[in-house]
Amino acid sequence: MASATFESLNPSTGEVIDSFPRSGADDVARAVDIARETWESWRLVPAPERGNILFRFAQVLEQHKAELSDLMTREMGKVKAEAGGDVQEAIDMSYYMGGEGRRLFGQTTPSELRDKFMMSVRMPVGVVGAITPWNFPIAIPAWKLCPAIVCGNTVVLKPAEDTPKLAQRFVDLLQEAGLPEGVVQIVHGFGEEAGDALVKHPDVPVITFTGSRETGVLVTKNAADELKHVHLELGGKNAIIVMDDADVDLAVDGILWSAFGTSGQRCTAASRVIVGSKVYEPLQSRLVERTEQLKLGYGLEEDVDVGPVINRAALEKIHSYTEIGEGEGAKLLTGGEIATDNGLDKGFFYRPTIFGDVDPQMRIAQEEIFGPTTALIRATDIDEAIRAANSVEFGLSSSIFTRDVNKAFRAMRDLNTGITYINAGTTGAEVHLPFGGTKGTGNGHREAGQAALDFYTEWKSIYVDYSGKLQRAQIDNAE
Ligand code: ADP
């Protein structure tokens, strides 16, 4: 075991939560060996039985929902209600994938030859390396591990170094639900050490990664020599479009929730708002007024709307974008500062920030800030709005507020993102539809829904000839 350790901090107070082993390549290799060995028996456990363990896991998560939510607010900073939502997402995913144990459908199809049978079945792949971020510290491990497990794979999980305790609880509760030892193992530690070793280990054929674009590119390169299957869920620069005919109050509710929920640290956060020119002024003033009423603080307190950001480096990066925005000539409408009053200086708090008069090509409208900062952009019509929305390297989520069904359908077709919302903000995915993005947000794979099964299995096509003689496809049945 690693002798070095690292600490997890409470981002609201700066207090140490706990310390964890700083694992290196040797620890990863040990975990992979166990996972590889366990896979030989786990892959033979009937899928409905694997699914039953996930049903029990969902129930165990329900029993521990309050405890996990409380820990999440302490370790990661999310306010109470949002922390509960994060755990609920894991519960939903576990039930959903538990049900897959009795489906995992393949196909049968008629052969072109007599007395021959054809079918396709899903096969587990082997050891999955799962690398997760800190922003959905229970939901994201569930999105990856539940489908991996039900499909008959074993897993080595390397969680983010900012939320090790939550990941440890997640894995402990899997054991409590009856998951056999060795099916899921956790290695704590840093990305460049433990994460890197997992990505490069030759006995880990599948890597699922959620994190930053830069790291995603590096992971892909490091996995290339072994031709691993790599799933990436990277960043977003998601836009809400508000057309002139929209319900402005509803749009403001959607923007506040999408831009400042989880302190803007969601891959689906709305960091751009593209607004029709007639509605721009009233929307701007209502949005700024409502934003200034948001209460910043420790999320365990009932009336707090916005918690801290994850750590000091994030705080500094977010603040640097305020300076960049001002330097680019955008108008700072509210926020734009590190909050230090009423004891907030002990943690990492940033005031919800809105820039007005933003040009779609400015850096604050192009780069992922991952904090409570959003940018208002004017558009004269739907064409200009869609062009602006699509003018970024990412393609995760998008939204349009309009009462015009024609504009809504234009947006559904033309917004180049993996997810589009109509008359709702850019966040709020449910576990039974595919989740992921186009362009620089990923590499074409999706998690959640049925799409996840394609990543965690290999298709095998099986032909059974019961004619008792040689039958040659494409030859013996040809005219
Ligand atoms: P974030 O900005 O969310 O911290 P990262 O991409 O740095 O994004 O981190 C996401 C996850 O990737 C974390 O678990 C982190 O430890 C891991 N990670 C970071 N660097 C590497 C790497 N070189 N190889 C594998 N995993 C890494």
**pLDDT at site 477:** 82
List phi, psi (to 5°) of 152: 95, 20
Task: Determine if ligand 1 sits within 6 Å of the CB of residue 212.
Answer: yes
Best mutation site among 215, 220, 222, 231 for ligand 1 pocket (most ligand atoms within 8 Å of CB)? 215
Task: Determine if ligand 1 sits within 6 Å of the CB of residue 218.
Answer: yes
C-alpha 190 to ligand 1 mean position (Å): 8
Nearest CA among 258, 296, 288 for reference residue 401: 258
Indicate which residue of 82, 89, 233, 368 is catalytic: 233
Report DSSP letters for 197-242, one per residue: HHHH-TT--EEEEES-HHHHHHHHHHHHTTT-EEEEE----EEEEE
Indicate which residue of 82, 161, 267, 447 is catalytic: 267
- Torsion-angle region of residue 378: left (phi > 0), alpha (psi -120 to 50) or beta? beta
* 3-class state of residue 447 by DSSP: strand
Residue nearest to atom 18 of ligand 1 (CA): 191
The per-residue pLDDT string of the chain (479 residues; one tens digit each, 9 = 90 and over) reads 667 999 999 999 999 999 999 999 999 999 999 999 999 999 999 999 999 999 999 999 999 999 999 999 999 999 999 999 999 999 999 999 999 999 999 999 999 999 999 999 999 999 999 999 999 999 999 999 999 999 999 999 999 999 999 999 999 999 999 999 999 999 999 999 999 999 999 999 999 999 999 999 999 999 999 999 999 999 999 999 999 999 999 999 999 999 999 999 999 999 999 999 999 999 999 999 999 999 999 999 989 999 999 999 999 999 999 999 999 999 999 999 999 999 999 999 999 999 999 999 999 999 999 999 999 999 999 999 999 999 999 999 999 999 999 999 999 999 999 999 999 999 999 999 999 999 999 999 999 999 999 999 999 999 999 999 999 999 998 76
C-alpha 5 to ligand 1 mean position (Å): 18
Nearest CA among 339, 262, 352 for reference residue 307: 262
Task: Determine if ligand 1 sits within 6 Å of the CB of residue 13.
Answer: no
The answer to whether the CB of 398 falls within 8 A of the CB of 417 is yes
**How far apart are the C-alpha atoms of 457 and 361, rounded to whole Å?**
41
Write the single-letter amino acid at 18: D
**How far apart are the C-alpha atoms of 315 and 264, rounded to whole Å?**
12
Catalytic site residue 430? Answer: no
The answer to whether the CB of 365 falls within 8 A of the CB of 274 is no
Q: 306, exposed or middle or buried, with CB in 10 Å at 0-12, 13-18, 19+?
A: buried
Q: 468, exposed or middle or buried, with CB in 10 Å at 0-12, 13-18, 19+?
A: exposed
- Bridge-partner residues for 347, per DSSP? none
Task: Determine if ligand 1 sits within 6 Å of the CB of residue 211.
Answer: yes
Catalytic site residue 233? Answer: yes
Q: 302, exposed or middle or buried, with CB in 10 Å at 0-12, 13-18, 19+?
A: exposed
Q: What is the pLDDT of residues 54-108, one digit of tens each?
A: 999 999 999 999 999 999 999 999 999 999 999 999 999 999 999 999 999 999 9
Pull the structure tokens for residue 458.
Answer: 């290999």
Q: What is the pLDDT of residues 225-277, one digit of tens each?
A: 999 999 999 999 999 999 999 999 999 999 999 999 999 999 999 999 999 99
What is the distance between the terminal CA atoms of the chain, rounded to a whole angstrom? 67
pTM of the model: 0.97
C-alpha 369 to ligand 1 mean position (Å): 16
Q: Is the dihedral of CA 119, 94, 143, 206 positive or negative?
A: negative
Task: Determine if ligand 1 sits within 6 Å of the CB of residue 84.
Answer: no
C-alpha 311 to ligand 1 mean position (Å): 15
A 10 A CB-CB count for 45 gives 14
Contacts 24+ apart (CB under 8 A), 138-141: 138/61, 138/68, 138/72, 138/86, 138/87, 138/89, 138/90, 138/166, 138/170, 139/86, 139/87, 139/89, 139/90, 139/93, 140/210, 141/90, 141/167, 141/170
The position carrying tokens 């974008």 is: 321
Task: Determine if ligand 1 sits within 6 Å of the CB of residue 192.
Answer: yes
